[in-house]
Amino acid sequence: MDTQRFAESPCLGYNCAIIGCERCNNMASKRFERYVWVVFGYTLLVILWGAFVRATGSGAGCGNHWPLCNGEILPRAPLLETIIEISHRITSGLLLVMIAAMTYIGFRIFPKGHIVRKGVFASLVFVIIEALLGGMLVLLELVAHNPSMTRAYSMSFHLINTLLLLASIIMTGFWVRGVRAPTWEVSRAAKTWAIIGVVMMMLLGASGGIAALGDTLFPAMSFKEGLMQELDPTSNLLLRLRVAHPAIAIGTGLVMVLVAQAFAAMRQTTQTKRFALLLYGSYALQIGLGTLNVVLLAPIWIQLTHLFLADVIWFAFVALTVYSFERGDPVA
């Protein structure tokens, strides 16, 4: 833990005068780090529940009303899809409150200009955008059984923003732990691989969302039927785009291997080796699960597991990048 980072911050807590400002701030930092990771875990749950809403076709459970549900705060005698949708709204609203609290605490504990302040502020911005995008999808009726490409594009942007939200929280957690701010004073190859990795992960997330939407709206009765849907030039564009996801997944997998090798070689620490291994392992598992998802015609439980693994891969990639681009000597 870099104790000097709190030199400019005020003493916080009722007993700081007794135990000392530096020690008090270190205690506050450790508690805050735990809270950031709780927020991260809760964000994953909200994301998975949102995918469940889409997979079950419950996105229109509250009609085209937002933030109200069918014109009411709490609808009477709600249907199952209404319960699913309104529960997602409640959990999403709680996430917004939790990240707002995280931002407030981060600004209280860390001094002006500290990298943690930037991390919590970015998290707040992205979660607000997330809420507005969710509301837009409902108000424009781009939910439930809407098969339009407008919905596909909106969902893709929604998924990209979700990745940025997760990245902000992940980076904040590591910065609170003591990892220093990033630097671009690294090799051109490292910067190139970082940019390529981010772009490929964004494309993979967007194509995965389109593929999942196609599976939900146009379910096939067999693997052969699904393949014929994708190859039929008269099929809905969502189905014809679905075939791109496996190709992007394979390409992204190769990029992740090269990124992990490049970053681990650039800064050979326990952390970079650990997260490189996590990236290798989770991606190999994801390829196998993706294949199973296609063969079994995308059951909801595999879709959710597939999404969870995608988030694990994103976590490993972001963590590896944070440690690889850390300014100065690495923190042990």
Please check the confidence at residue 16 and state whether its pLDDT lies above 70: no
Please check the confidence at residue 5 and state whether its pLDDT lies above 60: no
Taking a C-beta distance cutoff of 8 angstroms, is the pair 69, 134 a contact? no
What is the pTM for the complete model shown?
0.88
Mean pLDDT of the chain: 86
- Coil/strand/helix, residue 69: strand
Please check the confidence at residue 1 and state whether its pLDDT lies above 60: no
Mean pLDDT of 308-322: 96
Give Rg (Cα) of the chain: 22
C-alpha torsion sign, points 46, 317, 275, 331: negative
Q: What is the per-residue pLDDT across 148-187, written as a single tens digit (0 to 9) for each? A: 889 888 888 999 999 999 999 999 999 999 999 888 777 7
The reported pLDDT for the residue numbered 10 is 45
Q: Report domain extents, the chain.
A: 21-174, 179-332
C-alpha torsion sign, points 230, 231, 235, 240: positive
Taking a C-beta distance cutoff of 8 angstroms, is the pair 62, 83 a contact? no
| Cα separation, 204 vs 299, whole angstroms | 20
Give the pLDDT band of residue 18 (cuts 50, 70, 90).
very low
**Angle, helices 244-266/300-324, rounded to nearest 10 degrees:** 30
